[in-house]
Amino acid sequence: MLGERGEEVELREGISESPPVSSRRHKMSYGSTSSSGPVHVQEMEGNEDTPLLSNAVLGPPAESGEEEAAASRTAWEQLRALVSREPVLKSRRVPFNPESVQGSGFEQDSYPLNVIRNQKYSAFSFFPVALLMQFKSFINLFYLLVSISQLFDILKVGFLFTYIAPLIFVVAITMAKEGYDDYSRYRRDKEVNSQRYERLTANGFEPLPASDMKVGHFIRIKVNQRVPADMVLLRTTEDSGASFIRTDQLDGETDWKLRRAYAKTQQLERDEDLLRLQGEVFAEKPRKDIYNFIGTVQLSGHAVDSISLENTMWGNTVLASGTVIGLVVYTGRETRSVLNTSQPASKKGTLDREINWLAMMLGVLLVFLSIGMVAGNLFHGLWLVDGLRYIILFSFIVPISMSVNLDMAKLVYVWFMMNDNKIRGTIVRNTGLPEELGRISYLMSDKTGTLTQNDMIFKKLHLGQLSFSPDALDEVAGYLKHDASSSEGKVRRQLPRKVREAITALAVCHNVTPVNEVDEETGEQSRVYQASSPDEIALVKFTETVGVTLTDRTFQEITLTNADGRIEKYEVLNIFPFTSSKKRMGIIVRDLQTNEILFLMKGADVVMQQIVQYSDWLEEECTNLAREGLRTLCFGRKVLSEAEYADFARRYHDAEVSLVDREKRVEEAEISLEENLELIGLSGVEDKLQKNVRTTLEKLRHAGVKIWMLTGDKIETATCVARSAKLVSRSQSIHTMVVKNAREAKEHLDEFAQIQSNTVLVIDGTSLQICLDHWKEEFFQSTKNAPSVACCRCSPTQKAEIVKLIRQFTKKQTAAIGDGGNDVSMIQAADVGIGIEGKEGKQASMAADFSIMQFSFVARLLLWHGRNSYHRSAILSQFIIHRGMLITFVQIVFSAMYYWSSVAMFTGIMLFGYSTFYTSLPIFALVLDEDVSEENAFMYPELYEQLQKGRALSSKTFMLWCFQTAYQAAVVTLSPVFIYQYDITLQHFGAFVFTALVLVELINVAFEMQSWTFLEWRTWRVPMVMSEVITLAISLPSIVIFYGSFDIVFVSLPSFWINVSLVTLACVLPVYFAKLIRRRFNPPAWTKV
């Protein structure tokens, strides 16, 4: 209770004396709270003479080297930072009541506004900036220069509308899409920034939008509300002093995390007492690391207390339990979520690069054609001006509508993927890469959660003398009951004691929390376990089946119900969470039944073998379990005396409050505790294969996709999974590579190079690193043709490096698939990243280009959607190029016929209509084409192998289109000369050629449908027929509308249409028969099925 004004009042006692837990990364951790005595609170009113903050309570010193680093910056560096407006990130001391503190030097307004802004433009900058971005494209810039040239009479070859209209159309569509996307971002930002919260003030709780929050505000957050800024948790309504938060939108992990309130503020009687505190919170400078935090709290008259990650709530997380009050320490762009919001390197598809190359070749061809025309006229007169006019006349050879057509086509492909009922839940996050799925040569896959379900089932417990499987649960329960019935835990037999110690270690050494959930329909309550690791849940469920149940868990205490139905309580003194670098976790508890202090640890066998006391059976049994495909964990135990623990607690606390090398000092203290650790036992859990993994891998293997399994498991486990998943076919053998030096590695690589075509390589992480350090090129030359490779004990960095090196040495398309945060770097390094929404969260899914629900969806994604996307875009892009070349070649023939004149053959409306309403619909209908049926695509996956070679769009196909274009242009242009014997006006000539040109293109595009025959009719042919009919329906009335371009009397003559029809047939029939002959003697693979 608070006393009268100005009096210091002592808060209730009972704060634990134990040091706080480590600030290192953990998923869900518990620990005790540090305190050095009672907390004193002082009223702020009536004490103006005494500043609340003085030098005595300013907390820790400034970060080492910060001032020296600032002083050493050169004037140039300071000027560059000023010009670039790079944010300066600094540590801070946040007083509990900054608005009432005089002379503290704390300025709330010096920190960023707490607003989220994902917009690329403002209302004023959109038009100029977005417009400028459009002309970074070569094609758009080229047409802009061509349009500008028409303002000069000497270069004018037609109406300005002819050239500016297509440019405006393309730019307008692209800018409209950009504007819509940015407006959508603006609306989402506005919704988030305007969310209402409650701020604690002298007048009670007042409503406050998220955008108005400042550093130093006390903010109340209710259950299921988003945390609007980075905060230090001060109070919670939960009795345990801790609340759950959901972090899936920050780190992608779906498990709930426990966060504890700072003990001294949690024990205040009322929320309003926070306004009377004297003191401050020290927070390190903002950084991206969401798994660590270094800070301290200092209250007047008290020693410094350290706070760590478990005392924080990062912005963009969601409160899952209770109502809390937090102190804002970081806002806006300094929050962890914003600092980690960075766009990954943009991926550009191989097809896009190939099309850009073709566009440049067309630009070069345009220049050479113009030079050739000038040379044909023997450089007569103003040949330089004529050359520029020719460039303008022939500019339609550069396809301005290519990007718009391809972007629209990709949206169609994306729609097909996301609405495919056979791969429900698929999300396309990068709409620019659908075609890349059709050319994958290497697939890099994680194992756990990707090939397997990440749903662990207990299979074996090995204690050295005995081994227990699920069939022997009754035997284990019998040992436990015998032990539980012994008075005061004393037993006469050794075996029951060992079983009891092992089960206790499994039931206590973890980060699992039991949560009671209520079924909304039935109202029944059930216990579920929350943890970041499925392994831990599997082991806790196992202890429950043998009679030892985890019934409650708080930061301070673990409660078990033993096999005899009695309650056992363990006080949590310290916990050392699992990290990917340590590969182990530990906990110190006090058995409240015996007052014994226990240090328990579990971890990967490769690490624990170096820590626990020597055992002659551990390594052998680890290998045996791995051969069975089980994931193993070793458990160790150590009894600590009161003096030993007191000494450790002192050293650990000193390390915890250190602001210099805190993590290193904490780790050193932990390692000192690991000496003489007694081996308890070894557990094995099974991770079952995902549904249809075997058939999927078999199809991909037949499709010519080489699969690399990159896993952190042991060689024996990976080998077992590779066999069971059919990563290794019956006719293939396995070559295991475990070496200790570069010489052995070279010998193995030379040996494997001779047998790689029918052998699967299994290599461990150490051997892999030796190969990458000494024989990088030799390694990939030896393995590039292997059907499969399994890399074991791989770190996330090694995974990403392997992907990059495969791309570098093979020049082939790669895809990477995974389900966890440790797969993100691999996913982003591949040409195509595929994420699975799994039990490890959404981080991989959110970072990927394509998100799927299970591994088996990959086959349909590649063999069907990838195939169709690549095939359709290749045909579409080449036909658009052909369309531009055809009308350009017609203009070339016309100019050559009429004395090398640089005069336009067609009117502006003809040119505009040719590339829009006369041909666009049938051409775009190509995005619905199928070269093989869905049934054949999966029945004969070998067809996919043809796409990997990229033959659908190549220099060869480009040249074939050039020959076809040149032939058709010559026929369609020269025919009227022979038919009418020069007795034809320019208007009639243009009308005849243009009409024939449009009909030729409509028939050409129909013939491009891969399986179009008179005997075959498919659903996708309907849009093609409809587009042809609609186009003809538009074309015929346009003759009347555009009478200035067409002489109605001339085009109404029957002889006109007879001649046009004959010329059209002369253009398309030889080309069609040539393709039939070519297909007869060199048929594509899909025609053979």
DSSP 725-756: TTSS-TT-EEEEE--SSHHHHHHHHHHHHTTG
Q: φ, ψ for residue 287 (rounded to 5)?
A: -150, 170
Compute the distance between CA of residue 449 and CA of residue 845 in angstroms, rounded to an integer.
12
Compute the distance between CA of residue 596 and CA of residue 590 in angstroms, rounded to an integer.
6
Active site residue 446: yes
Total Cβ atoms within 10 A of residue 1003:
19
Token pair 């300071």 is found at 78
Compute the distance between CA of residue 792 and CA of residue 775 in angstroms, rounded to an integer.
18
What single DSSP character describes residue 838?
B
Going through 795-857 in order, the beta strands assigned E by DSSP cover 813-818, 832-836, 850-852
Compute the distance between CA of residue 217 and CA of residue 53 in angstroms, rounded to an integer.
17
DSSP 177-232: HHHHHHHHHHHHHHHHHT-EEEEEETTEEEEEEGGG--TT-EEEE-TTPBP-SEEE
Terminal Cα distance for the chain, rounded: 86
3-state secondary structure of 816: strand
Under 8 Å between Cβ of 817 and 834: yes
Compute the distance between CA of residue 292 and CA of residue 290 in angstroms, rounded to an integer.
6
Q: Is 28 left (phi over 0), alpha (psi -120 to 50) or beta?
A: beta
User: In angstroms, what CA-CA distances link 771 with 741, 748, 791?
Assistant: 9, 10, 12
DSSP 97-110: SGGG-SSS---GGG
Q: Which two tokens stand for residue 172?
A: 């307008």
Q: Which two tokens stand for residue 512?
A: 């699992």
Compute the distance between CA of residue 22 and CA of residue 730 in angstroms, rounded to an integer.
50
What single DSSP character describes residue 841?
B
| Burial of 68 from C-beta contacts in 10 A (0-12 / 13-18 / 19+) | exposed
Under 8 Å between Cβ of 461 and 467: yes
Compute the distance between CA of residue 188 and CA of residue 167 in angstroms, rounded to an integer.
32
Pairing of strands 706-710, 678-689: unpaired
Check 255, 446, 831, 929 and give the catalytic one: 446
Compute the distance between CA of residue 360 and CA of residue 402 in angstroms, rounded to an integer.
13
* 402: Cα separation from own chain's centroid: 29
For helices 494-508 and 534-545, the axis angle rounded to 10 degrees is: 140
User: In angstroms, what CA-CA distances link 41 with 3, 16, 279, 296, 311?
Assistant: 10, 19, 10, 18, 21
Q: Which two tokens stand for residue 32?
A: 């005790």
Compute the distance between CA of residue 662 and CA of residue 649 in angstroms, rounded to an integer.
15
User: In angstroms, what CA-CA distances link 655 with 20, 21, 600?
Assistant: 10, 11, 21
For helices 776-783 and 796-810, the axis angle rounded to 10 degrees is: 70
What single DSSP character describes residue 712?
S
Q: Which two tokens stand for residue 569?
A: 């309580």
Under 8 Å between Cβ of 564 and 484: yes
Which amino acids are annotated catalytic? 446
